[in-house]
Amino acid sequence: MKLRLFVIIGALSLFALSLLSELAGGDWGRFGGGLSNLVVFFTESMWPPDWSVLEARSYPVCQARLEITCSIGYIGMVETLKIAFVSTILGFLGAILLSPLAARNLQSVWVSIPVRVLLSAVRSLPSLIWAILFVIVIGFGPLSGVLAMTFYTIGYLGKLQYETFEGMNNGPIEAGRAMGLSSTAITTNIVIPENSNHLLSQLIFMFEYNVRHGTVIGIVGAGGIGYHINNYLKFLQYDKVFALLILIFVVVIVIDLISFFARSFVNEQGDVRRPTWLNLLLKGNVEKKAGKAAK
């Protein structure tokens, strides 16, 4: 069994390498040259990051007590977080209405196939294209970003959700069906609570994805921190771009910690020991202390 697995993985790796070689036109030397280009670009243009993006802008004059709240980094990030939050919640609501209709174990093929096609159609357009479409329809600004990411979230989250529903243990569904519960009651009282851990994880992942993607859709004028990144890119101010990228990275890490904490309410791990902010951040120290105490 193990040997067969190794053979399959080896064959797939070889196939991928041959495709890569074909895509690179057989010129493997480009990889070596590319790396040195990256080092030069990074050391000369991006490093050190220019943290002036977190200083208050000269115009309009900052009225707030904390100057950082008037900075481009803060304003852009908050706008991106707002866009991501609204579009994730709206997208989740759209997806949770559609995904039970797409799950094969909950609906007949006559219902599930058309809904799957609809979700695939929504998902097949990347959020960038949705953003361009909405910028054309309703103009520049965060509203285009919200609509673009809401649509993409419905398609993406819808697929994750119906695959989760299809993978669940059928016992509770069968018990509900045998006792005569309606499809709606089975979905709301059995399927959604049973998969709450996965749904929560997917929701937070999608929020994180939308925060990261807010940078991309901002480039086409759909608001958020991406709008400012695009401006700096135009003026070749890569050190400022790098500072904003670090800011996004920090926000993504914080969202990951929130996800870990939130999911502990609906899984077995949380029943044993619910994580605290202290042991999330200082996990190593806490464990060392516990080890010493045990000795």
Partner 1 sequence: MENNLLSLSRLVIGYDKPLSEPITLKVGPGEIVAVLGSSGIGKTTLLRTIANLVMPLSGTAKTHVDRVGGLGYIPQNLGLVRHGTVAHNVALGAGVRMKWSFSMYAERRERVLEALSAVGMEHKASEPVRRLSGGQKRRVATARTLAQRPKLILADEFLSELDDTNATAVMDAVFPLLMDGSSLIMVEHNEEHALKYATRIWELRDGCFNDLSAEAWKERRKGGDEP
Three-state DSSP string of 238-254: HHHHHHHHHHHHHHHHH
- Cβ proximity to partner 1: between 188 and 279 the closer is 188
Shortest distance, CB of residue 199 to partner 1, whole angstroms?
A: 10
Kindly tell me which residue out of 271, 274, 289, 290 binds partner 1, with binding defined by CB under 8 A.
271
Kindly tell me which residue out of 52, 189, 231, 259 binds partner 1, with binding defined by CB under 8 A.
189
Per-position x/- string for 22-61, each x denoting binding to partner 1 as judged by CB under 8 A, each - no binding: ----------------------------------------
Kindly tell me which residue out of 52, 196, 230, 279 binds partner 1, with binding defined by CB under 8 A.
196
- Cβ proximity to partner 1: between 181 and 216 the closer is 181
Shortest distance, CB of residue 275 to partner 1, whole angstroms?
A: 18
The span from the CA of 219 to the CA of 246, in Å, is 18
The answer to whether 266 contacts partner 1 (rule: CB under 8 A) is yes
The DSSP result for 41-77, as a single string, is HIIIIISSP-GGGGSBPSSSPP-SSSGGGGBHHHHHH
- Cβ proximity to partner 1: between 40 and 185 the closer is 185
- Cβ proximity to partner 1: between 54 and 181 the closer is 181
The span from the CA of 45 to the CA of 51, in Å, is 14
Exposure string of 200-224, with b = 16+ CB inside 10 Å and e = fewer, is: bbbbbbbbbbbbbbbbbbbbbbbbb
Show the tokens assigned to 1.
């069994």
Shortest distance, CB of residue 183 to partner 1, whole angstroms?
A: 13
Find all residues with CB under 8 Å of 43, minimum gap 6, and list them: none
Show the tokens assigned to 174.
């069968």
Q: How far apart are the first and last CA of the chain?
A: 43
Per-position x/- string for 69-88, each x denoting binding to partner 1 as judged by CB under 8 A, each - no binding: --------------------
Nearest to 73 by CA among 203, 245, 198, 205: 245
The answer to whether 264 contacts partner 1 (rule: CB under 8 A) is no
Q: Could you tell me how many residues of this chain bind partner 1 (CB under 8 A)? A: 22
Shortest distance, CB of residue 203 to partner 1, whole angstroms?
A: 15
Binders in 140-179 for partner 1, by CB under 8 A:
169, 171-179
- Residue 60: cis peptide before it, omega within 30 degrees of 0: yes
The answer to whether 184 contacts partner 1 (rule: CB under 8 A) is no
Give the binding site for partner 1 (CB under 8 A): 169, 171-181, 185, 189-190, 193-194, 196-197, 266, 268, 271
